[in-house]
């Protein structure tokens, strides 16, 4: 079964390892399951001294993420174990908050952090939307408080970073107080194109291939450089001259009213042209609308993040509804008496008292 985390520790071990490498709360696996597994590790390893948490996640459920942060801190206090968080790819959105749970917070030289205000999708009237906005403000205030405590920044400074939807390199994260240490970068040998990335990020990839953190020369291999051939996305007729790929994605997300999920499309390495992004967004909109019409909007974020097709989304929603129906089905048929006649009051219509009386007497012998 798919899972967005793993927890590994041998019985009696002093070290345990946790990986969080996907959308938090995905596949209907909540923080309660994570915390239950974490508690089990602590119980079976009373001498646990170190808990290493590896993170490569674009985020996920805010509530689950906050619970995991608090659960990790509580675990450290109860067991005395030292928690080390290490961002090895990206810690975006609520996964970045989890990275703050470490007594030691590390990030690979070529990894990234990202923070922004909490997001939500909902189907509600004006009052419901106002209530949701108030709730998001409360979530944001709580999260900002944690960042203030962990980074030493003021609430206004953190809020400014949230509003700007800030991406940080490892060097920037260290300077801003989001991490304590930068770990060696992974030497890159892949031949993928770097033209889709900002120049400062391309420089990071190339620099980390030119040398090791010890200052020794890397093995004889050419650093990853931009190919001479222009990538497909720059010749895409839909992309205006001077428009970056990220800006094209953002513009499309606004056009398709799916801006809350723009980050997911930006970081999907399988999407390399504007046409591919637009096709993915069109299907995502259909999936979103299907979830809303099925009165299951809580599935939207996970479905879009997984690039679930419309056909697959329909199947999953049917399965979810069937499972809920089995658990919550209530017989609302008109009550009848033991002779098979419908119970009615003098006026010929049903009344609550007659309904409950009929259900209480159903199956009993009558005279």
359 in a domain, yes or no? yes
The Cα–Cα gap between 157 and 171 comes to: 18
Q: What is the pLDDT of residues 198-212, one digit of tens each?
A: 455 555 555 544 444
Is 309 in the same domain as 347?
A: no
Task: Output the pLDDT for position 236.
Answer: 45
Among residues 229, 254, 251, 231, which one has the least CA distance to residue 240? 251
Task: Output the pLDDT for position 203.
Answer: 59
Is 137 in the same domain as 38?
A: yes
Is 322 in the same domain as 335?
A: no
Exposure b/e, 95-106, CB count within 10 A at least 16 = b: bbbbbbbbeebb
Q: What is the pTM of this model?
A: 0.54
Is 242 in the same domain as 209?
A: no
Tally of domains in the chain: 4
Is 43 in the same domain as 28?
A: yes
Is 199 in the same domain as 174?
A: no
- The residue range of the domain holding 223 is 195-228
**Mean pLDDT (whole number) for 27-40:** 90
38 in a domain, yes or no? yes
- Pick from 207, 228, 249: which residue ends a domain? 228
Count the neighbouring beta carbons within 10 Å of the beta carbon of residue 329.
Answer: 8
The Cα–Cα gap between 128 and 314 comes to: 27
Active site residues: 93, 116
Backbone angles phi, psi at 91, to 5 degrees: -120, 95
Is 46 in the same domain as 76?
A: yes
159 in a domain, yes or no? yes
Residue with tokens 């199956």: 363
CATH of residue 170: 3.90.226.10
Among residues 159, 68, 155, which one has the least CA distance to residue 117? 159
Is 163 in the same domain as 98?
A: yes
Is 353 in the same domain as 222?
A: no
pLDDT at 186 over 90: no
Angle between helices 126-151 and 62-79 (to 10 degrees): 30
Is 215 in the same domain as 244?
A: no
Task: Output the pLDDT for position 202.
Answer: 54
Beta-bridged to residue 168, according to DSSP, are: 113
238 in a domain, yes or no? yes
188 in a domain, yes or no? no
Is 200 in the same domain as 348?
A: no
211 in a domain, yes or no? yes
The Cα–Cα gap between 36 and 29 comes to: 12
Q: What is the pLDDT of residues 67-122, one digit of tens each?
A: 999 999 999 999 999 999 999 999 999 999 999 999 999 999 999 999 999 887 77
The Cα–Cα gap between 162 and 150 comes to: 15
Is 88 in the same domain as 130?
A: yes
DSSP state of 351: -
């Amino acid at each position: 079964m798919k899972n967005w985390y793993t927890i590994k520790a041998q019985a009696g071990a002093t070290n345990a390892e946790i990986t969080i490498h996907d959308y938090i709360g995905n596949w209907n696996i909540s923080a309660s399951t994570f915390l239950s597994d974490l508690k089990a590790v602590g119980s079976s390893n009373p001498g646990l001294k170190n808990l290493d948490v590896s993170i490569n996640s674009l985020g996920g459920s805010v509530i689950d993420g906050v619970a995991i942060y608090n659960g990790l801190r509580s675990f450290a206090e109860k067991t005395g174990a030292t928690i080390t968080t290490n961002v090895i790819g990206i810690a975006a959105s609520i996964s970045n908050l989890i990275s703050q749970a470490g007594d030691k917070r590390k990030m690979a030289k070529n990894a990234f952090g990202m923070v922004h205000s909490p997001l939500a999708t909902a189907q509600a009237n004006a009052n419901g939307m106002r209530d949701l906005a108030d709730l998001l403000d409360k979530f944001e205030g709580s999260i900002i408080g944690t960042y203030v405590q962990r980074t030493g920044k003021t609430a206004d400074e953190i809020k400014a970073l949230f509003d700007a939807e800030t991406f940080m390199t490892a060097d920037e994260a260290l300077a801003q107080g989001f991490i304590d240490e930068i770990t060696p970068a992974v030497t890159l040998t892949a031949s993928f194109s770097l033209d889709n990335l900002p120049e400062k990020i391309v420089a990071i990839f190339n620099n980390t291939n030119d040398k090791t953190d010890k200052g020794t020369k890397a093995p004889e291999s050419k650093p990853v450089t931009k190919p001479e051939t222009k990538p497909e996305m720059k010749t895409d007729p839909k992309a205006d001259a001077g428009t970056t790929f990220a800006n094209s994605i953002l513009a499309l997300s606004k056009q398709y009213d799916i801006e809350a999920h723009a980050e997911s499309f930006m970081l999907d390495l399988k999407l390399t042209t504007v046409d591919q992004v637009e096709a993915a967004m069109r299907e995502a909109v259909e999936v979103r609308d299907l979830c809303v019409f099925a009165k299951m909007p809580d599935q939207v974020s996970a479905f879009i993040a997984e690039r679930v097709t419309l056909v697959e989304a329909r199947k999953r929603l049917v399965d979810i509804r069937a499972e809920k129906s089995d658990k919550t089905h209530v017989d609302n048929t008109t009550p009848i008496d033991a002779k098979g006649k419908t119970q009615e009051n003098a006026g010929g219509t049903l009344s609550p008292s007659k309904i409950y009386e009929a259900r209480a007497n159903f199956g009993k012998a009558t005279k």
